[in-house]
Structure 1
Amino acid sequence: MKKFPLLLITLILAACTPSERTTIENFDDCVAAGNPIMESYPQQCRTKDGRLFREDIGDEMEKKDLIRVDLPRPNQAISSPVTIEGEARGYWFFEATFPIVLEDDQGDILATHYATAQGEWMTEDFVPFTSEFDVIFGDATKGNLILKKNNPSDLPENDDELRIPVTFDKSSAETSLITLSFYSEDDLSNAMFDSPVTVTRTIPKTAKVAEATLLALFNGPTEEEELEGARSSEDLEKLGEYYLGINIHAEYQDPLNPPTNGKIIENVAIVNFRSEALSILNSAAARQFMVKSAIEETLRHFPTITHILYAIDGEVFDEWDA
């Protein structure tokens, strides 16, 4: 009879004590529980009850004959600015670039950018590439870096991507305040720029503040900014895919005049795009006006910018059709 209470207590304790099976669901849980890690790649962790969990390294093994990334490595901590280095087959590029997306672990996009080939890309061999961009991680602690094959055809069968899981190092607290000018609903409805919605945003401190500002503009307003009435457009977001950077000159020779009698203009920003951007920048007058107004209004928040020029593949462009 004395054994019955003891058995009952044992059963109650067993029911109240979480088992290893219910508390360990992935590699990180397994490691955190103090289980041994096997020396392999990817690393593997074995639980006391014999279950085996493999570290998530994304698509690295499946894509190694197409694209290889040296920095960052899977599950490495990244900080802003994010630096990426690696090599990819020439056909992963188009016009020497391919898109990059950084998502948090919920699939929300934190940043979009591009990688640039560091050599001749029209080959089937591996070509080195680099990329660097700023990002605000917000509350997220981990996510995925996605390096997409450039697919100018937009055909789904030509899509491909490499996914790299990463964690976020937010220890760097230095920030900069930027100002963006988006469209209002009325502006978009009337193809005007009479009532732009101006918002301020905090970004990680960078030496390339103007470049980071335009990237933020092309990426569009946040949910909070949309609640304030800020709107973007398909054209403005598309320009972000063609954007190559910005150069600011204290003095610049006006390209519309020959050097012998041309004037010097001060505080000039030259916004550089790939040639595909001409389908928007040099289209119908109203379409040109809308994208250029948002770009120029945003850049004029910088006191060091008074003139804005556009370049295509590094050459200042002045043969506008409208």
Structure 2
Amino acid sequence: MSKQMILIGVIGIALLAGLVWFLTSDYGSGFFEGNSVKIHYNNADKDMIVIDNIPAGVTVLREFSVFGQARGPWYFEASFPVEVVAEGGKVVAMGHAEAEGEWMTEEFVPFKAEVKLTEVYSGPATLILHKDNPSGDEERDASVEVPIFIQQY
């Protein structure tokens, strides 16, 4: 074999090993091992709101997007509040998810939220999507909480 063929083989093996590592690694999995990692619904369920791209226990950077669908009553004026709470209870990001369609319906409406941490933080946190409740009536409060792991870069 020529040196060129050997070099191509070594590079191919290295790329394959890197791909296997990338597909099987989960940077934040050490914290969640042995802990119950589930999405928690408060006065809500999967028939009210579904998050499409942020599974429980996922590792995110300090800026990330959240996509999903929520039924029209989850929104008020086509949006609802989103926050990220650090392990100690400190809010490290606040914002709103925006409807991507007609929200005045009982059906599911797609949403998107751009989340950007306002604090420097790395570690376990909770992504919380709140049902918009302009009345402030506690009986109408609802939310979905997703455990996540924030990695700085």
In structure 1, distance between residues paired with 2:74 and 2:40: 15
Partner of 2:96: 114
1:56 maps to 2:30: no
1:103 maps to 2:94: no
Q: Aligned partner of 2:95: which letter? A: H
Partner of 1:145: 127
Structure with more strand by fraction: 2
Partner of 1:229: none
- The question of whether the paired residues in 2 share the 8 Å contact of 1:142 and 1:168 is answered with yes
In structure 2, distance between residues paired with 1:98 and 1:69: 14
In structure 2, distance between residues paired with 1:98 and 1:27: 28
Identity of aligned residues (%): 33
Deviation, 1:87, is: 0.3
Q: Secondary structure at the match of 2:73?
A: helix
TM-score (norm 2): 0.73
Q: Secondary structure at the match of 1:63?
A: coil
TM-score (norm 1): 0.36
Deviation per CA, 1:180-225: give whole Å up to 9, x if none: xxxxxxxxxxxxxxxxxxxxxxxxxxxxxxxxxxxxxxxxxxxxxx
Which runs of 5 or more residues in structure 2 are unaligned?
1-30
Deviation per CA, 1:214-271: give whole Å up to 9, x if none: xxxxxxxxxxxxxxxxxxxxxxxxxxxxxxxxxxxxxxxxxxxxxxxxxxxxxxxxxx
1:127 maps to 2:143: no
In our comparison, the structure showing a higher alpha carbon Rg is 1
- The question of whether the paired residues in 2 share the 8 Å contact of 1:105 and 1:140 is answered with no
Deviation, 1:115, is: 0.2
Aligned length: 122
Partner of 1:71: 53
Cα separation, partners in 2 of 1:138 and 1:148, compared to 1, 3 Å: same
CA RMSD of aligned residues (A): 2.1
- The question of whether the paired residues in 1 share the 8 Å contact of 2:101 and 2:109 is answered with yes
